[in-house]
Amino acid sequence: MKSHFIFYKINQKNNEIEIIRILHEQMDIDDNLNY
């Protein structure tokens, strides 16, 4: 049970990083469109 919880927390962190990365990529795409 405990290991599942730890894995879940790690997963949450990865998801946050993934979301931030996706947002940055979208911002980059917007910047490229402006040029």
pLDDT computed for residue 1 by the predictor: 62
Q: 1: which DSSP letter?
A: -
pLDDT computed for residue 35 by the predictor: 65
Q: Is the pLDDT of residue 31 over 80?
A: no
Q: 25: which DSSP letter?
A: H
* 10-27 mean pLDDT: 87
Mean of per-residue pLDDT scores for the chain: 81
**Number of structural domains in the chain:** 1
Instruction: Show the domain range for 12.
Output: 1-34
Q: How big is the chain by its Cα radius of gyration, in Å? A: 15
